[in-house]
Amino acid sequence: MDIQQKVQQAQSGDHQSFLLLMKHMEARLYRIASAIVKNKDDIIDAMQETIIKAYESLTTLREAAFFETWMIRILINECNGILLKRKRVIPFAEIRSSSTSSPTYEAIDVRQLVDQLEEDKRQLIILHYFQDIPLKQVADIMNISEGTAKTRLHRTRKLLARWLEDNEEGGRIYENK
């Protein structure tokens, strides 16, 4: 399917093209939303709101080539809004203390470590590594330069490696600012 052509058709009022675009993006949007909000009802809410907002403002999208990036950005904003609205944002210190309190905890899941990252770092890792989105597109989604994305990615990988190392040694997980 030629995405750019379908976007242009949808912008011209072709509802079927918009439906095809949403079908094309559905699985990817679901994976991203589930990585951020983790609750099935919230995932569905975020996706529905994303689709509504995309439909209502599709004509404002200037470049059809950026459709996927644009959709993901809308979704991330919706997910963040849901987290804030439902007050499910947990301070980093609480996550850290609750996740390392079990002495029988032998194996660490990388995904659990990623979930403990600050929001911007977590989104960077999720989009690039878990969703296989190219770094340039991730930078566009996050409204940062590609160089900034590379630097943050490098620092975040080092941080995760340090956390894994600390966990293997029985240490506590913490983030230096």
User: pTM for the full model?
Assistant: 0.67
* Domain residue extents for the chain: 3-85, 92-168
- pLDDT single digits (tens) 91-142: 544 444 444 444 434 445 777 888 888 888 888 888 888 888 888 998 988 8
Distances (CA, A) of 11 to 21, 52, 53, 62, 172: 12, 14, 14, 10, 52
Both tokens of 69, joined, read 């990036």
| Domain at 3-85: CATH architecture | Orthogonal Bundle (1.10)
Whether the predicted pLDDT of 16 surpasses 70: yes
- pLDDT single digits (tens) 21-39: 999 999 999 999 998 888 8
Q: Which helix (H) or strand (E) holds 36?
A: helix 15-37
Our measurement of the distance from residue 136's CA atom to the centroid of its chain's CA atoms, rounded to an integer in Å, reads 15
| Domain at 92-168: CATH architecture | Orthogonal Bundle (1.10)
Mean residue pLDDT of the chain comes to 82
Please report the pLDDT score of residue 164 as a whole number.
Answer: 78
Please report the pLDDT score of residue 168 as a whole number.
Answer: 64
Contact by Cβ (8 Å): 173, 99: yes
Q: How confident is the model at residue 87 (pLDDT cuts 50, 70, 90)?
A: low
Please report the pLDDT score of residue 88 as a whole number.
Answer: 46
